[in-house]
Structure 1
Amino acid sequence: MQHQLTRDITADERESFRRDGVVCLRSMFDADWIERMQRAIDEAIADPGPMHLDMDQGAAGTFHGDSFVWTWHDDFRAFVFDSPAPEIARQVLGARERVTLFFDTLLVKEPGSEAVTPWHHDQPYWPVDGEQVCTVWTPFDPVTRTSGAVEYLIGSHRWGKRFQPQSFTGDDRYGNSLEPMPDIEARRDQHEFVIFETEPGDCIVHHGLTVHAAPGNSNPGVRRRALATRFCGDDVTYRPEGSFQPLIREPGIESGAPLECDLFPRVWSP
């Protein structure tokens, strides 16, 4: 089973991430990882963890979510420590001292799911400060526009904004303490967007402040199984004040400390 990258990430790919806030990397995971994680995802759906969420929002179909899966499922733990994902994050972020795992999120839109992922960016949900924050979004089924491909607003990570988190379950659990997300759909002519259709083995890396959204899965008979693994680099610290993200347990570190502990383990060192 592949542990190292099959190729280095190119300077152009790293520049795309820096400039656009997102980059699609093709053929980064081998067939063994794909098959192993397909089985593991189905096991995790059948026997979900304590952070499981029903994200259907009252819509038709099934949208399964779960977080911190690595803490209780051996295959997910292997993925975050032993797959190419940490090295992908290191090269894209440009980390030199460390890469730590923040958490993982399982996101599965079954065929016929009408649940829409609203426009949002990730980092305002999270108890972290720093620039080197990314998500490695890895699909384990072919993903097209009709089966739930994510759409990204190019350059939005450089707006200097933190918008109010929205609940994926359709309620108002996060309140309204931050500036609301602009009506992106009403202003599409003012922005530039990108959608990557992907195959198993590809991954998409996006910055923690890149605004993105996704439709439901209207493609009959085609699942959309994906794992979003959140990694942090050298400059990231723990900041629980004002955070909206529930954690599976308390990390036991002080505010302002480097994001590294048993709950946020180091997955890469020089």
Structure 2
Amino acid sequence: MEKSLPTGASGGLPDLNDSYAVAREQAESYRENGHIVLRQVASAQEIAAYRPAIADFVRKQNTHSKPLHERDTYGKAFIQIGNLWTKDDASRAFVLARRFARIAADLMGVDGVRIYHDQALFKEPGGGHTPWHQDQIYWPLDTPNMITMWMPLVPVSEEVGSMTFASGSHKLGYISKAVISDESHRTLGAYIESKGLEKANYGALSAGDATFHAGWTLHAAPGNPTETMREVMTIIYFADGVKVAEPDSNARRNDLEAWFPGLKPGDTAASRLNPLVFSRY
């Protein structure tokens, strides 16, 4: 099997390639509920070292030119910058960290994971809510073994909190093709109520805490009523060896082109943008 990509930190940044112990009970809880919070996945000192460079890069890449009140629901939800690891050295060391990747593999119970892509999701002061949605409607991969790490780079207060998850919804697979929108919030919110799914929010988070959720897990996030930016980095992983699926929507066709350059349905999902970041072998 291809070896994990070396990811030693550079420029004096802390190395993030050691292990974080995931207890069996935590992995079982993740697989049952489709989400979990793990505390201090990165230490305060590590975040303090990485955050300035990542936040500065996001500010430089931000393309929003309209004030919040002139944007649609999606535009109000967050500043969204993807694949930082290919453009910025500090982001590369953070995103390709073996520590984070091994947690993803341990929670899913797989032997290796690759990067799908990363995203900085910065919710501005006064920023709007993130509607209910399933991430995997965008992803042209037919597997239950996809997971997102969502890690704040700053403390998140109780009034902002973590994302809210519909527990057990990942077991239902595909529910709706509705992309993130007012429509998805309305229809999926009604679906959650009709199924009696329990909603979970982990409340206040410290910088370096992280939630992990499955690709099919229904989730949403509240708005940001505070005067400080909610700075979050996300990394999406998938199990090594997965095949590219035939895209059945424009969203999946767009993602196939963007995140799997040169690949077609039936190919192993392993383009130059999908490095192997953890392997047990």
Task: Give the structure-1-normalised TM-score.
Answer: 0.84
* 5+ long unaligned stretches in structure 2: 1-13
Match of 1:67 among 71, 76, 82: 82
Structure-2 residue corresponding to 1:34: 47
When residues 162 and 235 of structure 1 are mapped into structure 2, their CA distance, relative to the original with a 3 A threshold, is farther
8 Å CA contact retained: 1:80, 1:267: no
Structure-1 residue corresponding to 2:248: 242
Structure-2 residue corresponding to 1:203: 210
8 Å CA contact retained: 1:54, 1:65: no
1:130 and 2:143 correspond: yes
Deviation digits for residues 69-128 of structure 1 (CA, Å, limit 9, x no counterpart): 2111111111122352111111111111x2100001110012222x11000010111121
Output the amino acid matched with 2:120: L
Query: How many angstroms apart in 2 are the aligned matches of 1:11 and 1:147?
Result: 30
Structure-2 residue corresponding to 1:95: 110
* 5+ long unaligned stretches in structure 1: none
8 Å CA contact retained: 1:2, 1:84: no
1:257 and 2:263 correspond: no
Deviation digits for residues 23-49 of structure 1 (CA, Å, limit 9, x no counterpart): 101111123431233212322222217
When residues 251 and 110 of structure 1 are mapped into structure 2, their CA distance, relative to the original with a 3 A threshold, is same
Structure-2 residue corresponding to 1:76: 91
- Aligned residue for 1:238, secondary structure, equals coil
Query: How many angstroms apart in 2 are the aligned matches of 1:5 and 1:12?
Result: 21
Match of 1:232 among 231, 235, 238: 238
When residues 72 and 166 of structure 1 are mapped into structure 2, their CA distance, relative to the original with a 3 A threshold, is same
Structure-2 residue corresponding to 1:193: 199
Match of 1:110 among 124, 134, 148: 124
CA drift of 1:193 comes to 1.0
When residues 189 and 82 of structure 1 are mapped into structure 2, their CA distance, relative to the original with a 3 A threshold, is closer
8 Å CA contact retained: 1:2, 1:30: no
Deviation digits for residues 135-183 of structure 1 (CA, Å, limit 9, x no counterpart): 0111111223422521000000011333123246x7x9xxx9xxx9433
Query: How many angstroms apart in 2 are the aligned matches of 1:139 and 1:188?
Result: 32
Query: How many angstroms apart in 2 are the aligned matches of 1:145 and 1:62?
Result: 18
- Aligned residue for 1:84, secondary structure, equals helix
8 Å CA contact retained: 2:98, 2:277: no
Task: Give the structure-2-normalised TM-score.
Answer: 0.81
Query: How many angstroms apart in 2 are the aligned matches of 1:240 and 1:129?
Result: 9
8 Å CA contact retained: 2:105, 2:113: yes
Deviation digits for residues 184-225 of structure 1 (CA, Å, limit 9, x no counterpart): 3882892201101211121111000000001110123x3210
Among the aligned pairs, what percent are the same residue? 28
Segments of 4+ in structure 1 off by > 6 A?
59-62
Query: How many angstroms apart in 2 are the aligned matches of 1:53 and 1:135?
Result: 25
When residues 186 and 137 of structure 1 are mapped into structure 2, their CA distance, relative to the original with a 3 A threshold, is closer
How many correspondences in the alignment?
257
Structure-1 residue corresponding to 2:278: 268
8 Å CA contact retained: 1:134, 1:207: yes
Query: How many angstroms apart in 2 are the aligned matches of 1:236 and 1:218?
Result: 40
Query: How many angstroms apart in 2 are the aligned matches of 1:127 and 1:118?
Result: 21
Query: How many angstroms apart in 1 are the aligned matches of 2:202 and 2:29?
Result: 13
8 Å CA contact retained: 1:110, 1:223: yes
